[in-house]
Amino acid sequence: MRPTERITRRRFLVLASTLTGAVAGLGLVAGCQPAATPAPAQPAAPQSTAAPAAKTKVSELSMILFDNYWTASLNEMLKKYQQEKGVTVTWENPPLAGFYQRQMSLSLAKEKKPDILAFNDTVLSQYASQGMIAPLDDYLKDPNLTGADYNWTEFTDQTRKAASWSKDFSAQGKTYALPIELATWAYFYRSDLIDKPPETWTEFMEIAKQFTKSINPKSPTEYGTAFHAKALPMTYKEWYAWLWAYGGDIFDAKLQPVLNSAQAVKSLEDQYGLAVKFKAVPPDTATYDDAAKTAAFQNGLFPQCLHWTHQYPVYLDATKSPKLAGKVKYAMVPGMPGSDGKVKRFPYAQQWMLGLNPNGERKEDAFKFIAWLTSPKGVLAWAQAGYVGVIRPSVLKDPEMQKKMPDFVVRLAAVAIGRYGPTYIPEYAQIADSELLPALSQVIAGSKSAKAALDGVNEKATAIMKTAGYIK
Amino acid sequence: MPETPTLELTSPRTAPARRRRRLSLDSALPWLLVVPAVLILLVFTIYPIIYNLDLSLRNVTLYNYRAAQQTFVGLGKYLQVLSDQEFWSAVGATFTYTIASVGIGLVIAFALALLFERYEGIRARISPFLLVPLMATPAVIALAWNQLLIADIGVVNYLLRLIGLNPPPWLGTFPWPLISVITIDIWQHVPFMFFVLLAGLTVLPEEPFEAAAIDGASAWQTFRHLTLPLLSPVILVTVIFRGMTAFTSFDVIYILTGGAPGSGTETLNLFLYRKAFKAWNFSEAGAIAVLMVILTGAIAITLISLLNREESL
Amino acid sequence: MTARRRRSPQQRLREAAVWLVAAACVANVFPIYWMFATALKSEADVFAYPPVWVFMPTLDNYRHIFTAAGFFRPLLNSLFIAAVSTTAAVILGTAAAYGMARFKVGGRFLPLWVLSTRMFPPIVIVVPVFLLLSSLHLLDTYPGLIAVYVTVGLPFVIWLMRGFFLEIPAALEEAAWIDGCDRFQAMVKVVLPLTAPGLAVTSVFVFISTWNEFLLASVITGTATKTAPLAAAQFSSEFGIQWGPMMATGVVVLAPMVVAGLLAQPYIVRGLTLGAVKG
């Protein structure tokens, strides 16, 4: 056995003083924090002095935007900008999975870089209301910065509205971004199996059951359809096409959340019923993101699904989808008959945009670049480089481009009818991502009924809207 | 912990020269050695825990972090967290996960250790294979299993169909995702428990067992009354260390299921992560962190005192 | 430990059973094997159903991840970060361990406190560390990441090395002191050489755990410092999951760790229990 430890007076003193020192050091570190928090408010001053410095020729800009189907063509555009204007744009392109986290970290630390930030309409109001992006109105008025032929008014009202925000939700908000992409949903189906695309969700459900082996043993496919259900924003964006068609909505006209209305509950019961009740979707649909759903469709696991319209080149390409080539067609998303008997469809639409970091030191030059990229000429060149996500009407109408990109006709229609989320409410993103999303995921996993889940979401959403002061 | 008994070297005054150098670098050496490491640990472990406490009493989100609107809310965030059904479901998932992984793993590992104890040759041959999952990067393990578990073309389901079974929704509906991640955790960590228990078994004294054999004790009696009590310190260490890794496990669940609450795999780790880096609510995350520290602190103190008692045996 | 002497047929039966279980243990590496195999498959073979077991291997997936997919940078990041933080953690930790083991600095309390810092789930420090590094502008920088990883490695080094130091008879240092060495010289010239194997094993374990770390990396790295496990996990595209290249990244991340683990095998038990059980 070890000798017992003798505690001499000297050792005791040493130990005690160390402990005291450690605690003091600890207090110092802890004490610094609250003081450090307000401090960064000061560096606001140098912003105004940065303007004269901008006169010097800028040869480098930085941008953050996640990797997507635009990557290859956008890289070509960056090369082109370098050749034309001598300005190198360094593009930080994390995958979407790490994108928001990265951008938020940069914003939190008030970094001067990157000069250019990217966001969609869902978060624009949140970013704008918190001063995380700079208003662009002054720049937009200056033809020296936009170029003479910019034609901002050519964008649809809906597009421009989604790029702007004002505190009182008026139409005349400040503009915070220039749009680079329109994303909306289409209905993709195997034309070798399905003769006529469904008009309504009722028909869609019938087809789904018909192509599910456990329901119809003669079905050539294992399952009838699949959903994006991996707790990512796509999950609720897909549901909205059902929700709106059934006559439900997220908020009523007075901004009261109505996510548990009878129509809303019915639409979710029907959509996820295909998974929970009829087992007409692959069992791991709850883990499907874009890539997994694409892979399963490419493998012929189901004959129909909703997907972003920009996915069509992938499905039509024989090298990317060898089993699907020549067999996939797409149509408008199904809807439901309205009171006049006509089918009303509500494909969800959103737009990705580029905006400016308010702490950036080269805002004018950064604006020049995003204006160049989104100008009629720029978008045309980008589309010619293979970009399909175009949102500018004049390029979508270009007869040459329509011949090359059959999707542009559909897209033009989508620009007109696609329905955006209630993104003008800064709290909407929080309600959708932190409350609605987990609830939907519980419904598809079978651990909660549609009614119970939506009741819960509505209660939380109401509380959030009350705290924010919109409703009483 | 069996430490080799050592002599006290705190005051090496045996050599008379020492006394004269009391204020020199030499006498300060022990402190110089320890202080840098302790300082770093303070900054990155104690400070965060205190800072969590500070966060949890305010209302700090990403959006108001810089602004002055970080109102003091007292215990409001704790009430919010404790009344949140998702929090309790995360607590449930965490304990289910930890207890199932450790419990089932312990039984399997113990059985293997007893079986291989006397077969040193075979043991040496399989050890490298057992080591592979143990050393493998958890994130990569998640990817490897993800591929095995794909519903339509995954190998696991192929093999199940081959023997005529209908594969369950491994990553789909509750409770299968939880079962899947627990299985993977067991798969990865049984080797750890096996190696540790085996190490314990091989150093047990021979005499009591020989005596038991002479007395005609059955295998079960020997196991129950000799092996188990003699091995209990080692079993305790195994359970503590395994329990720690299971309780803190994040990577595999995060990558495989994303912890979506719907699939029942959202453990406290993933719940906190979601509140902090998806909802950007630092205060709520802070409150969860403090609750977790209290919880693990209570468990750790109990276990450390148990360990200490074993050590003094 | 059961009775030693048994009759022969029973013994043989038992041995057969042991071999059977041994085979099952070997089959345990199947998920890893399958990853290796997938990484060598062509795209057609990856998506084939029923799965193909015999196929023509190709290196296309590896070529892809190092050229088109840019996996080289994360790999170098991981190597650099793991190497530097391991070195720093081992130096600082060994020093502290020696102080605690030989001079009983902090008595019994300090080592236990060090151990307790390892018992908290890393997730609880993630938010404060994120905010701390953010206000220091250290997110997505090497110094920030390395500082954090040194901290994670320290308790491990301290406990393991403390155990190794306690095993060395104190008489050796006393002899050195009498020969005129001061404490520092005694430590460097006499004790450290004796613990060299322990030092090596500790380094290997710290390196492995740093390399394998995911949670902290996912929060405090960005494009510049992204580590290899993170890059592997985020490896997917909108064109469907590319299992081949994804598994190739997995192999590249995992293989060095498995090799390192095999090297440290004799010390595995001791390493993984922080010296609580000596294998």
Mean pLDDT of A186-192: 93
Mean pLDDT of B209-220: 88
Q: Is the dihedral of CA B302, B305, B309, C2 positive or negative?
A: positive
Residue-wise pLDDT for B229-282, tens only, equals 899 889 988 998 899 899 999 999 998 888 776 768 999 999 999 999 888 889
Instruction: Please answer whether residues A116 and A64 qualify as being in contact, where contact means their C-beta atoms are separated by less than 8 angstroms.
Output: yes
The top-scoring range by mean pLDDT among A286-300, C196-210, C239-253 is C196-210
Q: How far apart are CA A135 and CA A124, in angstroms?
A: 11
A452 burial type by CB count under 10 A (0-12 exposed, 13-18 middle, 19+ buried): middle
CA C39 to chain centre: 23
Question: What is chain B's length?
Answer: 313
pLDDT at residue A14 is higher than 70: no
- Chain C residue with Cα closest to A94: C223
A191-348+425-467 has which CATH code? Answer: 3.40.190.10
C-beta atoms of C127 and B286 within 8 A? yes
Q: What 8-state DSSP symbol labels residue A435?
A: I
A7: number of Cβ within 10 Å: 10
Mean pLDDT of B133-142: 93
For B293, the token pair is 């520290």
pLDDT-based confidence at residue B79 (cuts at 50, 70, 90) = very high
Domain CATH number, residue B120: 1.10.3720.10
Residue-wise pLDDT for C156-173, tens only, equals 999 999 999 998 888 888
C-beta atoms of B40 and C32 within 8 A? no
pLDDT-based confidence at residue B8 (cuts at 50, 70, 90) = very low
Neighbours of chain C (3+ CB pairs under 8 A): A, B
Nearest Cβ partner for A291 among C47, C140, C238: C238
The top-scoring range by mean pLDDT among A240-254, A336-350, C228-242 is A240-254
Q: Across chain B, which distance is largest between two alpha carbons, in Å?
A: 84
Output phi, psi for A91, to 5 deg: -105, 115
pLDDT-based confidence at residue C240 (cuts at 50, 70, 90) = low
Give chain C positions within 8 Å (CB) of B22: none
Interface of C with B in 36-65 (CB under 8 A): 38, 47-51
In this prediction, residue A436 carries a pLDDT of 93
Residue-wise pLDDT for A387-424, tens only, equals 989 999 999 999 998 888 877 887 888 777 789 999 88
In this prediction, residue A18 carries a pLDDT of 46
For A371, the token pair is 């204006």
Mean pLDDT of B283-297: 93
Q: How far apart are CA A196 and CA A175, in angstroms?
A: 42
pLDDT-based confidence at residue A194 (cuts at 50, 70, 90) = very high
In this prediction, residue B2 carries a pLDDT of 42
- Chain B residue with Cα closest to A15: B31
Number of domains in chain B: 1
pLDDT at residue B62 is higher than 50: yes
Residue-wise pLDDT for A203-251, tens only, equals 999 999 999 999 999 999 999 999 988 778 889 999 999 999 999 999 9
pLDDT-based confidence at residue A141 (cuts at 50, 70, 90) = very high
Å from C242 to nearest chain A CA?
A: 9
The answer to whether residue B195 sits within a structural domain is: yes
Give chain A positions within 8 Å (CB) of C241: 291-292, 295
**A interface test, pick of B254, B273, B278 with most A CB neighbours within 10 Å:** B278
C-beta atoms of C139 and A105 within 8 A? yes
Q: Which has more pLDDT, A24 or A424?
A: A424
Q: How far apart are CA C271 and CA C276, in angstroms?
A: 9
| Candidate from A313-322, A324-333, C101-110 with smallest mean pLDDT | A313-322
Put simply, whether A95 touches C (Cβ < 8 Å) is: yes
Interface of A with C in 156-185 (CB under 8 A): none
Q: How far apart are CA B144 and CA C258, in angstroms?
A: 15
Residue-wise pLDDT for A41-81, tens only, equals 333 333 333 444 444 566 899 999 998 889 999 999 999 99
**C interface test, pick of A294, A301, A319 with most C CB neighbours within 10 Å:** A294
pLDDT-based confidence at residue A316 (cuts at 50, 70, 90) = confident
pLDDT at residue B311 is higher than 60: no
Put simply, whether A40 touches C (Cβ < 8 Å) is: yes
pLDDT at residue C105 is higher than 50: yes
The answer to whether residue B8 sits within a structural domain is: no
Residue ranges making up the domain that contains B126: 88-285
Instruction: Please answer whether residues A161 and A421 qualify as being in contact, where contact means their C-beta atoms are separated by less than 8 angstroms.
Output: no
B209: number of Cβ within 10 Å: 19
Q: Is the dihedral of CA C254, C259, C263, C266 positive or negative?
A: positive
C-beta atoms of A286 and B263 within 8 A? yes
| Candidate from B32-36, C104-108, C164-168 with smallest mean pLDDT | C104-108
Interface of B with A in 77-96 (CB under 8 A): 85-86
Q: Which has more pLDDT, B107 or C104?
A: B107
Residue written as token pair 């080269």:
A362
Å from B151 to nearest chain C CA?
A: 12
Considering chain A, what is the average pLDDT of its residues? 84
Output phi, psi for B281, to 5 deg: -105, 90
Give chain B positions within 8 Å (CB) of C202: none
In this prediction, residue A469 carries a pLDDT of 87
Instruction: Please answer whether residues B255 and B247 qualify as being in contact, where contact means their C-beta atoms are separated by less than 8 angstroms.
Output: no
In this prediction, residue A433 carries a pLDDT of 87
Chain B and chain C share a number of CB contacts under 8 A equal to: 338
C-beta atoms of C254 and B129 within 8 A? no
For C108, the token pair is 């019994």
3-state secondary structure (DSSP) of residue A352: strand
Give chain B positions within 8 Å (CB) of A427: none
The answer to whether residue C224 sits within a structural domain is: yes
Give chain C positions within 8 Å (CB) of B49: 120, 124-125, 128
pLDDT-based confidence at residue C115 (cuts at 50, 70, 90) = confident
Instruction: Please answer whether residues B33 and B27 qualify as being in contact, where contact means their C-beta atoms are separated by less than 8 angstroms.
Output: no
Q: How far apart are CA B268 and CA A202, in angstroms?
A: 40
Residue intervals in chain A for CATH 3.40.190.10: 57-182+349-417, 191-348+425-467
Mean pLDDT of B74-84: 92
pLDDT at residue A148 is higher than 80: yes
CA A417 to chain centre: 19
Q: How far apart are CA A159 and CA A412, in angstroms?
A: 12
Percentage above 90 pLDDT, chain A: 53
Q: Which has more pLDDT, A214 or B312?
A: A214
Q: Which has more pLDDT, A95 or B293?
A: B293
Put simply, whether A102 touches C (Cβ < 8 Å) is: yes
E strands, A216-313, where?
304-308
pLDDT at residue A442 is higher than 60: yes
Give chain A positions within 8 Å (CB) of B43: 29
C-beta atoms of B280 and A104 within 8 A? yes
- Contact partners, residue A191, CB within 8 Å, separation at least 6: A327, A328, A329
Put simply, whether B193 touches C (Cβ < 8 Å) is: no
| Candidate from A201-215, A314-328, A455-469 with smallest mean pLDDT | A314-328
Q: How far apart are CA A51 and CA C28, in angstroms?
A: 64
pLDDT at residue A34 is higher than 70: no
- Contact partners, residue C100, CB within 8 Å, separation at least 6: B34, C106, C110, C111, C158, C162
Put simply, whether A314 touches C (Cβ < 8 Å) is: yes
Considering chain B, what is the average pLDDT of its residues? 85
The domain A57-182+349-417 having CATH identifier 3.40.190.10: the answer here is: yes
Residue (of A447, A307, A459) closest to B260 by Cα position: A447
The answer to whether residue C33 sits within a structural domain is: no
pLDDT at residue B36 is higher than 90: yes
In this prediction, residue C206 carries a pLDDT of 94
Chain A and chain C share a number of CB contacts under 8 A equal to: 73
Instruction: Please answer whether residues A206 and A320 qualify as being in contact, where contact means their C-beta atoms are separated by less than 8 angstroms.
Output: no
User: In this structure, which amino acid lies at residue C130?
Assistant: F
The answer to whether residue C106 sits within a structural domain is: yes
Residue-wise pLDDT for A264-279, tens only, equals 999 999 999 999 999 9
Residue-wise pLDDT for B249-262, tens only, equals 999 999 888 877 67
C-beta atoms of B29 and C211 within 8 A? no
pLDDT at residue A298 is higher than 80: yes
Residue ranges making up the domain that contains C131: 72-272
Q: What 8-state DSSP symbol labels residue A285?
A: G
Number of domains in chain C: 1
- Contact partners, residue A229, CB within 8 Å, separation at least 6: A235, A275, A285, A286, A287, A288, A440, A441, A444
- Rg, C-alpha atoms of chain C: 24
For A232, the token pair is 């990512």
pLDDT at residue A351 is higher than 60: yes
